Amino acid sequence: MSAASRVKRLLRDRAEVVVFEKNGWVSFALCGTPYYIGCRVRRLEELTYYPVEEFTRKRGIRINLYTEVVEIEPGERRLRYRAADGSTGVYEYDYLVLATGAKPRVPREWLVFENVFTLHSLEEADRIRSYIVSNNVRRVAVIGAGYTGLEVAENIRELGREVVVVHSREHVLNKVLDPDMASIVEEKAREKGVELVLGKRAEAIEGDEGRARRVVLRGGDVVEADAFIAAPGIEPNVSLASRAGLRIGETGAIWTDERMRTSDEHIYAVGDAVETRDVITGGRVWWPFAPAGNKQGYVAGTNIAGGDAVFPGVVRSSALGAFGLYIASTGLREEDAARYGFRPVAAYLRARTRSHYFGGGPEIHLKVVADEETGRLIGAQAVSEDSSAFWRANMVAALIWGKATVWDLFSLDQSYWPGANPVWDPLTVAARLLLRRFRGRKWVTLS
């Protein structure tokens, strides 16, 4: 919708813009679905940014809901679609934008049970909430402790149900947090009554009479529950693109150039289906988060309309809130950095978020990772009950974006007000800790 809106904004009546959507919603907040399950969001409509009429009437975009594109014929510049009533059609395009998103990576055989769910659409969120409420579900097993898994677990707990999270890795959120930081989240999750079963892969779901009863873990342990949410991870939805012969990148997502054009000059691709550039490593990365997707849509739309815009890539920023904590991460984890050719050094600290004479504020756990050879910042993770964890990680993201060094983190002219931070901000203290690893270094700064 971001690409569609951008084209219409720039070309107005000179362009016909048509959207094909397999499901019943456009411009919706997938990130909000856990909160719908937990009833913090009451109605599904609240998870849309605009009513459909905003796009159709006001922006002049034609929208076909419940209409699935089943094939693309790049040579003919046309696509074939099938509507909900079974009718089919063909549409000829000058430019096509693929925004096919991602999908849960779940064994098909798990989904035969009526009480096993995935969560990757508003419809699924609705089914989960209905099921839990209507069937008086007492205990829910969540498979996977990534973003979706943890947010769903928290929300089901909020509904007063028992929750057990089963995760194949030793620590939660293992794609964005190092083990030391993940432990802090785990402690808080357990405090809130969430049971965590870590380091055990879910091998099978067993049940009878169409209802799942238990998850069987590698090694043979079982976890019983009344409902199951499978969130072991997602993968890019590239089937249409693959069949159309478009180049799939090394990450398994659709390849595009920085103008968001695929290997076919008339086809652009954006969002969770595409890979992008990792600004830190210079390599390719699949980073399926909403802000990047929206901006890629804006960039694709601009270019289709005759402009010239690039999407430079990501620094792997992401965040979530769970169990009363703000959890934010940017850049590479200390554990991953060596794999990309860096020599990681890290500073970890626990500090108060505000000045002591303003009560100090909640504690923040902050970790900053740098490269020992160049002094460049390459990552940060922050966890706190205070929202400044979110922002402090974002501050490091902004510095990494500019290829800043540890000395930049130290010197950066951050503002200070006792009600918002201590005069030696935790970020500055982290820089000081890191500087011990760089004694005698001649620093070059951005400034």
Question: Is the Cβ of residue 46 or residue 187 nearer to a copy of itself in the bound state?
Answer: 46
Q: What is the dihedral of CA 104, 108, 114, 116, to 10 degrees?
A: -40
What is the nearest approach in angstroms of a copy of itself to the Cβ of residue 66? 23
CB of 116 to a copy of itself, least distance (A): 26
Token pair recorded at residue 420: 């918002």
What residue has token string 């160049």?
A: 374
Closer of 234 and 279 to a copy of itself (Cβ):
279
Closest distance between a copy of itself and the C-beta of residue 318, in Å? 5
Instruction: Give yes or no: 31 in active site.
Output: yes
Strands 211-217 and 202-208, by their bridges, are antiparallel
CB of 231 to a copy of itself, least distance (A): 17
Length of the chain counted residue by residue: 447
Token pair of 31, please? 């990130």
- SS3 of residue 239 by DSSP: helix
Burial class (CB in 10 A: 0-12, 13-18, 19+), 271: buried
Backbone dihedral region of 217: left (phi > 0), alpha (psi from -120 to 50 degrees) or beta? beta
Asked if 381 contacts 391 with a C-beta cutoff of 8 angstroms, the reply is no
Annotated active-site residue in 15, 31, 70, 429: 31
CB of 128 to a copy of itself, least distance (A): 17
At 427 the three-state DSSP class reads helix
For residues 164 and 195, the answer to whether their CB atoms sit within 8 Å is: yes
- Residue closer to a copy of itself, measured from CB, 283 or 291: 291
Burial bucket for residue 405 (CB in 10 Å: 0-12, 13-18, 19+): buried
Classify residue 372 by its DSSP letter.
T
Nearer to a copy of itself, 66 or 424 (CB): 424
113 or 298, CB closer to a copy of itself? Answer: 298
Q: Which is nearer to a copy of itself, 6 or 171 (CB)?
A: 6
Q: What is the CA radius of gyration of the chain?
A: 23
Q: Which helix (H) or strand (E) holds 267?
A: strand 267-269
**Strand, helix or coil at 359?**
coil
**C-beta of 421: minimal distance to a copy of itself in Å?**
8
Residues forming the active site: 31
